[in-house]
């Protein structure tokens, strides 16, 4: 599969999304493509959501979502937005900034990660949620609150794997991250977790606006707003050159300890199955009910 075929992938649900992500990661790793950095963390997060939906591992016998099918479909739509962004003729400005940095051979790993997170969450996620909402639900306050609950549960799952993501990025791409983590203790994970909650709370309201505007044919205006906001943040992130320089300096110190220098040799995670137990390395409690 080449770049053109990768960009044409359109997953319909979370299972198809994971398969498409894995195929794409293998291609990126084979070509030492920095776009693998964001996609790897996105892949890990999606594996966690997949386990929660299906009751695998730590989630066995536990209910996480009110409507798992809705989250399953949303995960497909959300990943489709990612693959659409690979088309240079239609991608948003935020994704263009992220792609530009990814093409720089010595760009910082965290810079690549946060630019991808910004584009995918700020621009893609509100539209994916908006499209996943039934227009008839927009006037149903009770139904929207139930959808919001499932959205928030995903937030909790993502926070749960932050430490795993940081460890993976350090071991496979940039060991300097581990030095920064040791210096800061758990402060960076806590800050990232709280920032993620606030970030995705704003996404929810943008999603409702996009869905409502779509009914009236005004969704293009909302899309332009999301494009501007995500591009503005991307430019601010790129301007923080001192931060990315510090990251690269730490990486030079730690580079002899990098586990895998050839990205093609990286072993990717696989989704859990019913017989598998155990969660991410941080062993955080699951945001779950014990209901079967």
pLDDT of residue 256: 56
Mean pLDDT estimate for the chain: 86
Q: Is residue 89 part of a domain?
A: yes
Predicted local distance difference test score (pLDDT) of residue 176:
53
What is the tens place of the pLDDT at every residue in 246-259?
A: 555 555 544 555 55
- Does a structural domain hold residue 287? no
Model confidence at 292, pLDDT cuts 50, 70, 90, reads very low
Q: How high is the pLDDT of residue 195? A: 67
Lowest mean per-residue pLDDT among 111-125, 165-179, 222-236, 238-252: 238-252
pLDDT value for 190: 44
In a domain, 277, yes or no: no
Structural domains counted in the chain: 1
pLDDT of residue 261: 72
Q: How many residues does the chain have?
A: 292
The answer to whether position 165 is within a domain reads yes
Q: How confident is the model at residue 107 (pLDDT cuts 50, 70, 90)?
A: confident
Q: What is the mean pLDDT of residues 135-142?
A: 96
Mean pLDDT, rounded, for 8-18: 98
Q: 21 in a domain, yes or no?
A: yes
273 domain-assigned = no
The pLDDT tens digits for 151-162 are: 999 999 998 998
Query: What predicted TM-score, i.e. pTM, was given to this entire model?
Result: 0.86
**How is the chain classified by DSSP, letter by letter?**
--HHHHHT---SSHHHHHHHHHHHHHHHHHTT-THHHHHHHHHHHHHHHHHHHHT-GGGTT-B--S-HHHHHHHHHHHHHHHHHTT-TTT--HHHHHHHHHHTSTT--HHHHHHHHHIIIIIIIHHHHHHHHS-GGGGG-HHHHHHHHHHHHHHHHHHHHTHHHHHHHHHHHT-THHHHHHHHHTTHHHHHHHHHHHHHHHHHHHHHHHHHHHHHTT-HHHHHHHHHHHHHHHHHHHHH-HHHHHHHHHHHHHHGGG-S-SSGGGPPPP----TT-----TT-PPPS-B---
Write down the pLDDT at residue 285.
58
pLDDT at residue number 184: 38
- Whether residue 144 lies inside any domain: the answer is yes
The predicted-structure confidence for 57-93, as pLDDT tens digits, reads as follows 999 999 999 999 999 999 999 999 999 999 999 999 9
131-144: average pLDDT: 96
Please give the residue range of the domain that contains residue 58: 3-262
Q: How confident is the model at residue 200 (pLDDT cuts 50, 70, 90)?
A: confident
Q: What is the pLDDT of residues 175-199, one digit of tens each?
A: 655 544 544 344 354 446 666 777 7
Which residues lie across from 289 on neighbouring strands?
63
Q: What is the pLDDT of residues 261-288, one digit of tens each?
A: 789 999 999 998 776 545 444 444 566 5
* Any domain includes 13: yes
pLDDT of res. 253: 46
CB 257 within 8 A of CB 121: no
């Amino acid at each position: 599969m080449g770049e053109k075929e990768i960009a044409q992938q359109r997953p319909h649900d979370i299972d198809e999304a994971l398969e498409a992500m894995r195929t794409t990661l293998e291609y990126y790793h084979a070509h030492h493509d920095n776009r693998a950095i964001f996609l790897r963390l996105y892949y890990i997060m999606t594996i966690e959501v997949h386990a929660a939906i299906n009751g695998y591992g730590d989630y066995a016998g536990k209910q996480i979502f009110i409507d798992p099918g809705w989250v399953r479909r949303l995960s497909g739509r959300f990943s489709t937005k990612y693959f659409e962004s690979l088309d240079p003729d239609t991608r948003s400005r935020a994704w263009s900034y992220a792609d530009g940095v990814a093409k720089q051979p010595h760009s910082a790993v965290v810079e690549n990660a946060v630019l991808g997170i910004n584009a995918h969450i700020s621009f893609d996620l509100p539209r994916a949620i908006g499209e996943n909402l039934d227009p008839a639900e927009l006037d149903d306050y009770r139904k929207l609150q139930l959808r919001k609950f499932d959205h928030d549960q995903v937030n909790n799952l993502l926070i749960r794997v932050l430490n795993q993501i940081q460890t993976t990025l350090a071991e496979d791409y940039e060991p300097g991250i581990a030095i920064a983590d040791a210096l800061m203790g758990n402060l960076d994970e806590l800050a990232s977790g709280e920032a993620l909650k606030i970030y995705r709370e704003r996404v929810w309201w943008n999603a409702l606006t996009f869905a409502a505007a779509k009914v009236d044919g005004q969704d293009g205006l909302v899309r332009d707003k999301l494009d501007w906001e995500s591009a503005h943040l991307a430019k601010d992130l790129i301007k923080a050159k001192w931060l990315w320089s510090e990251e690269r300096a730490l990486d030079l110190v730690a580079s002899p300890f990098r586990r895998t220098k050839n990205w093609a040799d990286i072993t990717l995670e696989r989704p859990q199955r019913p017989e598998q137990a155990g969660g991410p390395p941080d062993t955080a409690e699951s945001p779950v009910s014990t209901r079967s």
